[in-house]
Amino acid sequence: MEMVTNLIIISSRVWHVSLNFIFKQVNPELTIALVESIEELNGIAEDLLIRSRLIGFLTDVIVPERILNQVQYGCYNFHPSLPNRPGWAPLQYALLDNDEAFGITLHRMSPKVDAGYIVAIKKFAIEPSDDFIKVNEQVFLCLFSLLKEQRLALIFNRGPLIPIPLSWGSLRKTKSDLLYDTLVHLNQVSKERLNSLVRAFGYSPELCLLRLKDSKGEKLYYFDHKKQSPGHRADLEAFGHNFFDLEPQSIPRVAQTHFI
């Protein structure tokens, strides 16, 4: 069986050192091209593409069909969800809908995002008391565990990886869905519904997605269990949460790894 000698990995630069180490542990001679953006991917020479296997790892880059066809040994992606939740923000919607399990899916890339055949999954249980931060930590542990389980198949077999008999589910969300579902009208939401939204979307100032809208117009707030301050809005007190003003210009770009 012939080995793959060249890997192209698309991921955030945060993961480049770890990914390089994990694959070179099993084959130090492996050539690995690590890229982060579609511009970097498009800059890879065609003669390298046709001698490579491509892996997506927590990336929001959509690989063009042209490149999918050029990469000789197949393109595969680690999707941060089980197959029941293709598309955007799977973890947030799993928490919102009180899913009992979550996990990671390794699948073949196809022109349609999160639609190629499924190679492997790994899952874990979600407890009712788990919040986003706790589940997200488990996601990363699960992700690297599946990566280590599948790395031999990814580099020691040039042929297509073997599919398993699972199909993608229908709970696909888009970026537009996310924007719609996180705009909350305070005069139309129950305390129970807001509790669920906070669990899924209001986990920290840096990654706050909730936009709370009242009669004075749309404004951004974040939720904090621990911070106690008299500065939160009086019209939010009835919901039993601590909400604090968050100026739009102070919000850093949300890491895409949480949504893809």
The pLDDT tens digits of the residues spanning 177-198 come to 988 888 887 777 787 887 788 8
Residue 216 above 70 pLDDT?
no
Span of 24-28, 90-94, 172-176, 242-246 with lowest mean pLDDT = 242-246
Write down the H helix ranges in the chain.
Answer: 16-24, 38-42, 46-49, 65-70, 90-96, 132-156, 175-181, 191-201
Residue 84 above 70 pLDDT?
yes
b/e sequence 54-64, b meaning 16+ C-beta within 10 Å? bbbbbbbbebe
Range(s) of the chain covered by CATH 3.40.50.170 = 6-156
pTM, two decimals, is 0.82
Look at the block and give the residue holding tokens 């031999």.
152
Hey, is 152 helix, strand or coil? helix
Rounded to whole angstroms, how far apart are CA atoms 9 and 25?
A: 16
Residue 237 DSSP label? G
On average, the pLDDT of the chain sits at 82
Q: Tell me: the pLDDT tens digits for 145-182?
A: 999 999 999 999 899 999 999 999 998 998 889 888 88
Rounded to whole angstroms, how far apart are CA atoms 102 and 121?
A: 10
Residue 51 above 70 pLDDT?
yes
Domain at 6-156, CATH from 3.40.50.170, 3.40.50.1360, 3.30.230.10, 3.90.550.10: 3.40.50.170
